Amino acid sequence: MIRLAVQSRLVPGESLRQKHENALAYGFDGIELSGFPMIDLATEAVRDGVPVSAMCSGHRGWFIDPDPEQIEFAIADMKRLVELGAELEAPLIVVPIYGRTHNLPPHCGTGRTRAEDEALFVRGLREVTEHADGVGGTIVVEGINRFENSISVKVADAVRFATEMASPNVRAMADVFHMNIEEVDLGASLEAAGDMLAYVHLADSQRLEPGRGHLDFASVFGGLGRIGYDGWASMECNLSGPAEEVLPASVEFIRSRIAEAAADSSSSREIA
């Protein structure tokens, strides 16, 4: 059974515990930490015993930051986050960078070649992976669309980088919003990831909550069903209205699409 989560920034509440309680009341199974600084949020979750599905970045810098000092900040913060993640039994979501790419004008780039950026990303990811291996933390590598980075763009890229780490503590994740831009067939791309897929982000075609756009969720949940995915699927999106109104409606939409995909899969097996 797929477990549904929602990013903590989307749920009202004065504390993570209140946010978690509200998320459960809306029909979710848990919350994902989202915000800055992530170390503070994760520390609060550990202190108050709030279960979380994952930690979404929220650190200083990036592995391929244009500023070398920010690269070192990123590595230091991520090492601390995988330690906290080990206590929370929650992975750290990792992307190469957010908001810089080689596909936009030069001032948006890193100042390095794509090959140089990829080498830096692998170096940073390997250093944090080795630390995660030592402390029992986990990492999921995400692919984000070409307008936000040029290194890990498709689900297959995330799988490739995760596989290169050769660690049981590193796997890949998929974000259906980015996939809707980059992938030819959403379900087929998820199916191709197979056992390396460990986490999923949900949003509709225009980055609102699922059910407000035209993204092909039948393909998404069909693909997840074919690989027997039973992990977390978390909402990372903007909201079209008040959380207490739109989030329960979106949960109902998602669960109905999951049930429909399961029914379609069962019918297909019977016909075969």
Active site residues: 142, 236
Both structure tokens of 236: 């990372």
Cα gap 178→201, rounded to integer Å: 9
Residues 6+ apart with CB under 8 A from 125: 63, 94, 139, 141, 161, 165, 170
Give the three-class secondary structure for 174.
strand
Cα gap 97→84, rounded to integer Å: 22
Q: Kind and range of the H or E element at 73?
A: helix 68-88
Q: Kind and range of the H or E element at 171?
A: strand 170-175
Residues 6+ apart with CB under 8 A from 252: 27
Which residues lie across from 7 on neighbouring strands? 32
Cα gap 13→6, rounded to integer Å: 13
What are phi and psi for residue 242, nearest 5 degrees? -60, 135
